Structures are given as C-alpha cells and as structure tokens.
Amino acid sequence: MAITEQDVQASEDAPSVNYLNNGYGLKSWLLTKDHKRIAVLYIISISIFFALGGLFASLVRFELMTPEGDLMSSDTYNKVFSMHGIIMVFFFLVPSIPATIGNFLVPIMVGAKDLAFPRINLLSWYVYVVAGILGTIAVVGGGVDTGWTFYTPYSSTYSNSNVILAAMAAFMAGFSSILTGLNFVVTIHTMRAPGMTWFRLPLFVWSHYATSIIMLLGTPVIAITLVLLMLERGFGFGFFDPNLGGDPVLFQHLFWFYSHPAVYIMILPSMGVMSEMVAAVARKRVFGYEFVAFSSVAIAILGFLVWGHHMFVSSQSTYAGMVFSIITFLVAVPSAIKTFNWTATLYKGSIVYDTSMFYVYGYLGLFLVGGLTGLFLSSMGLDIHLHDTYFVVAHFHYIMVGGQVMGYLGGMHFWWPKITGKMFPDICGKISALLVFLGFNFTFFPQFILGYMGMPRRYHVYPEEFQILNVASSLGASLLALGYLVPGVYLTWSIFKGPKAPDNPWGAKGLEWETTSPPPTFNFEETPVVTEEAYQYGQIEEH
Amino acid sequence: MADDHHGPTVRIYLAVFASLMFLTALTVWVAFQDLGMFNDVVALGIACTKATIVILFFMHVKYASRLTWLLAGAGILFLLILFAFAMADYVSRGWLGMPASHYLQ
Ligand code: HEM
Ligand SMILES: [Cu+2]
C-alpha cells in the first residue's frame, strides 16, 4: 500500500493534539465527555462480553459434539445456553454498533462537535457497566436458566436460578440503550452542520435514527415487563400466573413487543455500516438513496407490528396469528429493498478489492439467507414444524451474527484508521473476513438441516442420526472463533506497530474522512459547511 | 423557543401534588366499592388521569417544543398498538372453538 508519501503528508497536516493524546490519565478516560473516547470505552467493554458470551457458545458446541449429555448435566446446559443468549443479546449485540461506531461517527457525520448530551452519553456507559457487573454476578453466583427470553411461568414460578438478578441486569442495559437512542435523536434533529439537510445525511445516520426510534419506543416496554416479572417472582403479584388470575402468554406479548423490534436494533446499525461501505467499495452513490433511507424508518415502524410471529404455537388466537403473519411478510420488503439497492450499487461500480469488499460481500450473502429463511418461519403452517427447532437458531444467527457481527467487524476495519490513526495489514483483513464467512456457514448451515429434520433447540441429548451435522457445526464454530481471534491480534498489533493512517486511506466520501485521523477532540478545526449530497464519488460513465 | 420554555411554578407543582394525592386516595376508596364491570374502567381511568398530569406538568411536556409533543405522542401511539394487537389476540381466541382456546375460559 502506498502509504509512505501520504503518511508524511498526514503527519504534517495533523494537529498535534487529537482526541487520543489529549490527556492520558485514567481520569481523562473515565470522566471524559468526548463521544469518541466513550466509543472506545464501549468497544473495550463489549469486547469483554463478546468473549464471555463466546465462551458459553463454545461450551454449547462442545456438549453437542456427542448425542449423550456427557460434558454437563441438563441443568448446567440450560444455564450455559441461557447465559450465552442473555450476554450476547443484551450486552453485546444491542450496544455493538450504536454505542461504538455509532457513538464515534454520528456526531462527526452530521458535522457536530459532540452528541447533544455528552454527560448522558457517559452516563449510558456507566449504566451499561453496572448492568454488566450485575449480569456477571448473576452468572458467577450460580447462573440463570430461563433462556434469553425469560418465558413465564418457568421464570416467574419454577426456575431456581438467579432470574431476578439477570432480569435486573437486562433492565439496566436497556436504560443504557435508551440514553444512547435519546442522544442520537436529539443530535440528528438539532445539531446538523449548515447545509446538512436530511437528504444529505449519510445512510449510516438514517439507520441510526431508525434504531434510536426503536430504542426509545420499545425499550421501556421490556423494562416494565421485566419489572412485572420480578414483582411476580419476588412478591407473588399475579400478572402471568393463571392461579393468580394472570396469563403466561401475556408475558410473551409484552416480551416480543420489544424483542422483535429489538432484533432490528440488532440489524439496522449494520445496514447503515453496509451502505457506507458499499458506496466506498463501488465508488458510487448508493443506488436509490431515498428508498434506502426510508426503508430504515419503515423497518423501525413496521417492526412493531409483527411480534406475534414468535407466538404461532402458543395459545395465541389463529386470527391474530394470520394478521401477524401477513404483516411479517410485509416487513421483509424494506429489507429486500436494501439488499437489492446495495447490489445495484455494486453493478457497474469500479470495485476496490480490499478488506471492505470482502466484508460487504460476506454480509450480503449471509443477510440474504437470514432474511429469506425468516419468510419460511413467517408462514404459520410451516412454523408449526420449525418453531423451537434448530432452524430458528440458524435463522437468527444468520442475521444477528452473519449480519450484525459481520457489519460490526467490517465497520471496525473500515473506520479503524479513523478511530486509532493506524493502518492494519490489508491481507490480514481479507483473511479474517474469509475465515469468518467460511466458519460461519460451516457452523450454521448444518443447523438449518438439523432443524428441518426436527432437532429441537435447547436440548443437549439428541438422537444419533443428528451427530454428523452437529459435529460439522462444532468444527465450523472453531473456525469461526479463529476468524474472530485473528482480527483481535492484528488490530491490537496495529495500534502499537501499524503505520500511521492518512486522513482518508480508502479515498472515501463523508465528513469523517475530511477531518484528521484520529480526529481532534472537537472533531473539526472549523464547523464544516455541506454543499453536496452524500456519496458524490464523481461521475462514473453510465452505458 | 425561550418563551415556551418557562416551567411550571411552585404553585402548580403543589396543585399537581395535591391532585395526585387526592386521586390516589380515590383509587383506594374505589377499590372497596363494587362497580361491577366498571371496576377496571374506573381504576384505569384514574391511573391514566394521573399519568397525564405527571407527563404534562412534572415532565414539562406542556411547556416543551412541538418535537417533544411529537415524540411523547409517538410513545402513546405505540402503547396503543401494543394494547390493540394484544387485545385482538384475547378477543379472537375463542372464535375457533378449539381446545387451545378453552384454556382461557
Ligand atoms: C427479514 C425479515 C424477518 C422475518 C420475516 C423473520 C421471521 C421470523 C419468525 C417468523 C420467527 C419465529 C420463528 C419461531 O420461533 O418459530 C423468527 C425468529 C427470530 N428472528 Fe427473525 N425474521 C426476520 C428478520 C430478523 C432479524 C433482522 C433478526 C435479528 C437481527 C431476527 C432475529 C430473530 C430471532 C432472535 C428469532 C428467535 C427468537 C427466539 O425464539 O429466541 N429476525 N424470525
Ligand atoms: Cu421477530
């Protein structure tokens, strides 16, 4: 890579003080109000939880190597998969992109000095940390075994594990994301630079706006639902227990009213990452910008109308199920719009074969499979067969891991030079993307077949004929783990030994590439004035 | 903006506090009266009135910008969606007359 001349250039242009070298003490980090430093704090904390959640995942995959339950007891297995889910969803996936890359970029992309409420931003991190500590206590102090869904009546009446503590942790993690969402909405509404109209905003900002709407409107519901659960479990209030006049299925309504939209909290941000990366990779404006922008908002709103598709085989009425099924098919449309439009953006682009491209292609493929299998599950009849099987597990991992985690990693590579001011070796990036893509498919594709053949989720003893596919899945998981470890190594290496990054290493468009790498504390030397739409990559002649 | 931003006076706060206390007492009293099918309606009516007072005055929405009104309104709209769709389930569970729906009766 022809870094050297640019490199010299960059170091000459760079102001001596940037957000990273502006104070070194622990206090300058722990009491910072700089959104970029808070983003870094978040990156470190969610990485810890990703590792912890990954540890539980590997225990699951180890246990499932054999049809017998030989590694752990059924009770332990219940706890292991529950803690995997709870940690990954509430402590990794929900904050993954918004609190890290989003925190770093939203203010810069709208041309602002910081988020609207810097102190609230710091508070959100502290709330997250306290939630994380509570969660860790719940894990270390005996664990929790309800699954990440906390379904009643098991969670409220029968489980002997640390349900209240874990619910409290999820409750608090929810508040941290409400605070992040609030900050984004206010910032995007009120702090755009001169000339930055709504339709000049990068699509990353649009998708974070949509995510924030869900965080603001949905999270309070899960918070209250968990409070109701704690009240019933702790004090015998009768919300969900039929003996006390409650209804266990009511819990599912309340839970999924948040948690289906929440699955969009876990995918919309990565869609924003992809829009930026696709444009940079193809050197073209994202095809149908307005459609992509509005599809984010459409997902946020329609996403609230489909939760009943998780309840087809509960005692939910068939008529309600039909309505939920139809709307679920509709919500796939905006996701499809995005996928088509990204593909159309690549069409006749001048594709750059770098790490970003590998991640973009990987994401497109995995998200496509995840989204399409969602449609299988939305069909009420088919879902009776597939519900609570490994098919569902494969479906949501294709989206949440193949989509969001791939987007997170891709985005971390794409903006790494901006965040750290250092370059990583491109070849390493490509290898890691390839490892993740192969390892992922190797792990989760067999699970579609297993589920279709009837293997239920959340059991650790299974009939012998399922073993081959389970072993394949476990082997794939090792490859996938390697794919996640490798970037950890070379990215860390690059912080200390990597070459200095120029301001705009990829020749990409966007305000973040116009400031220095890493940016100064207040992001820009002077407030930028925006005169053009996003992604003006120059005219590429159309044929 | 600056004009709309004056908050409620201490007097108003006290009045709000008094009415919340009164409504709480009313809730307790009503709980001991048998109003037949109106038991829930009345209890929820009082609760909603209290929530409205809190939102408007304690949470300053009455004095806030239109964007805040929009967001607060959106919150209520989505709450109604939650109620409507969940109720749609409960109402229609018996329609098929199948065993699963007997469970609620
Ligand atoms: C493209 C549109 C999508 C459709 C049509 C769809 C449809 C469905 C359906 C019908 C189910 C219920 C299956 C069952 O339990 O029997 C389901 C489960 C699930 N989906 Fe999706 N989905 C879509 C996108 C997503 C996205 C974007 C995510 C996450 C980022 C996601 C995450 C999940 C999760 C976590 C579950 C299982 C929850 C559990 O029971 O633990 N889905 N999906
Ligand atoms: Cu869903």
A-chain CB neighbours of B81 within 8 Å are: 304-305
CA torsion A339→A343→A345→A351, rounded to 10°?
A: 130
Which tens digits make up the pLDDT trace of A519-538?
Answer: 999 999 888 999 888 998 87
* Shortest-distance atom of ligand 1 to CA A377: 10
A128 C-beta neighbours (distance < 10 Å), count: 27
| pLDDT higher at A15 or A265 | A265
Cα distances from A507 to residues A15, A169, A394, A408, in angstroms, run: 21, 42, 37, 21
- What does the pLDDT read at residue A35? 96
Which tens digits make up the pLDDT trace of A41-95?
Answer: 999 999 999 999 999 999 999 999 999 998 999 999 999 999 999 999 999 999 9
* Closest Cβ–Cβ partner in B67, B78, B86 for A253: B86
- Judged against a pLDDT cut of 80, whether residue A5 lies above it is answered with no
- Judged against a pLDDT cut of 50, whether residue B2 lies above it is answered with no
CA angle A352, A362, A445 (to 5 degrees): 160
- What does the pLDDT read at residue B99? 56
**Within A283-379, where are the H helices?**
289-302, 318-346, 355-378
Q: How many CA atoms lie within 13 A of A171 on its CB side?
A: 16
Element (H, E) at A30: helix A26-30
Q: How far is CA A458 from the centre of its chain?
A: 23
Q: Residue range B8-14: average pLDDT?
A: 88
B77 contacts: CB under 8 Å, gap ≥ 6 = none
3-class SS at A422?
A: strand
Q: Is B36 left (phi over 0), alpha (psi -120 to 50) or beta?
A: left
Q: Residue range A103-125: average pLDDT?
A: 96
A250 touches chain B (CB under 8 A): yes
Q: Residue range A455-478: average pLDDT?
A: 96
**Separation between Cα atoms, residue A333 and residue A279, nearest integer Å:** 22
- Judged against a pLDDT cut of 70, whether residue A179 lies above it is answered with yes
Which tens digits make up the pLDDT trace of A316-361?
Answer: 899 999 999 999 999 999 999 999 999 999 998 888 899 999 999 9
A174 C-beta neighbours (distance < 10 Å), count: 24
3-class SS at A500?
A: strand
A309 min Cα distance to partner chain B (Å): 12
Q: Tokens for A74, please give them.
A: 């059924």
Which tens digits make up the pLDDT trace of A247-291?
Answer: 999 999 999 999 999 999 999 999 999 999 999 999 999 999 999
Confidence grade of residue A17 (pLDDT, cut at 50, 70, 90): confident
Q: Taking CB atoms and a 6 Å cutoff, what residues make up the pocket around ligand 1?
A: A 149, 263-264, 266-267, 309-310, 328, 331-332, 335, 371, 374-375, 377-378, 383, 386-387, 392, 395-396, 399-400
Q: Answer whether A317 sits within 8 Å of B82, measured CB to CB.
A: no
Instruction: Tell which A residues from 199 to 238 touch B, by Cβ distance under 8 Å.
Output: 213, 216-218, 220-221
| pLDDT higher at B7 or A463 | A463
- What does the pLDDT read at residue B6? 67
- Judged against a pLDDT cut of 60, whether residue B104 lies above it is answered with no
Which tens digits make up the pLDDT trace of A205-259?
Answer: 999 999 999 999 999 999 999 999 999 999 989 899 988 889 999 999 999 999 9
**Separation between Cα atoms, residue A378 and residue A326, nearest integer Å:** 8
Q: Answer whether B92 sits within 8 Å of A253, measured CB to CB.
A: no
- What does the pLDDT read at residue B105? 46
Q: How far is CA A37 from the centre of its chain?
A: 20
Q: Answer whether B88 sits within 8 Å of A253, measured CB to CB.
A: no
Residue type, A476: G
Which tens digits make up the pLDDT trace of A372-430?
Answer: 999 999 999 999 999 999 999 999 999 999 999 999 999 999 999 999 999 999 999 99
| pLDDT higher at A11 or A520 | A520
Confidence grade of residue B36 (pLDDT, cut at 50, 70, 90): confident
Cβ distance A148 to A258 under 8 Å? Answer: no
**Within A150-235, where are the H helices?**
163-190, 203-235
- What does the pLDDT read at residue A138? 94
B39 touches chain A (CB under 8 A): no
**Separation between Cα atoms, residue A366 and residue A430, nearest integer Å:** 17
- What does the pLDDT read at residue A3? 46
**Separation between Cα atoms, residue A102 and residue A250, nearest integer Å:** 34
- What does the pLDDT read at residue A539? 52
Mean pLDDT, chain B, integer? 85
Place of tokens 């609570």: A388
Ligand 2 ion: residues within 5 Å (CB): A 260
Produce one character per residue of A496-508: b if its CB has 16 or more CB atoms within 10 Å, e if not: eebbbbbbbbbeb
Residue type, A523: N
DSSP per position, A363-395? HHHHHHHHHHHHHHHHSHHHHHHHTTBHHHHHH
Q: Tokens for A449, please give them.
A: 């077949």
Residue type, A439: G
With both helix axes pointing from N to C terminus, report the angle between A289-302 and A248-265 in degrees, rounded to the nearest 10: 160
**Separation between Cα atoms, residue B6 and residue A75, nearest integer Å:** 58
- Judged against a pLDDT cut of 60, whether residue A157 lies above it is answered with yes
Residue of B nearest to A322 (CA): B89
List, in sequence order, every residue forming a beta bridge with A456; answer none if it has no partner: A389
Domains and CATH numbers, chain A: 33-537 (1.20.210.10)
Cβ distance A75 to A461 under 8 Å? Answer: no
- Judged against a pLDDT cut of 60, whether residue A1 lies above it is answered with no
Residue A517: what are its φ and ψ, rounded to 5°?
Answer: -115, 120
B82 touches chain A (CB under 8 A): yes
